[in-house]
Amino acid sequence: MALQNYGTDSFVLSINSRVITDFGETASPFQDAPINPASQLRQGLGGGAVRLDRIKPGRTVQLYLNPGSADSAYLQSLFTARTEVTLSYQQVGTLESAVGTEGVVTNDAANNRAGSTISDDQYTLEFNGWNAMKGGA
């Protein structure tokens, strides 16, 4: 079995058809996580239970970009204009991929400037629709 490459050189990220490449120094410049649980279990006092499935649990994405980059300016423009966004990514060679739809850039983050170190530009995106494939080749 060959080693899987999860580095940025084999990670293709597209937001509204623009390929994003200028990632920051954060150890994991792209992170995604569920907004809500896909299923919930409601237990009654009598011992029975009910399952509640959510059709679209949603997904939140944290994106860290190099400060001063054109990619960061692009994300800031989507945030400022309150543009609806779509996202897709593929980790080339591992068969991991995802598509996020009905999304918005919900926030940017604190900036650290004018010191011995500076922070990445951080953006939070949330998606109502998320279709992902994990597992690798």
What is the mean predicted confidence (pLDDT) over 97-118?
A: 90
Helix (H) or strand (E) holding 102: strand 96-108
pLDDT of residue 10: 86
Evaluate whether 13 touches 32 at the Cβ level (below 8 Å): no
Q: How far apart are CA 107 and CA 83, in angstroms?
A: 12
What integer pLDDT is reported at residue 69 of this predicted model?
96
| Amino acid making up residue 133 | M
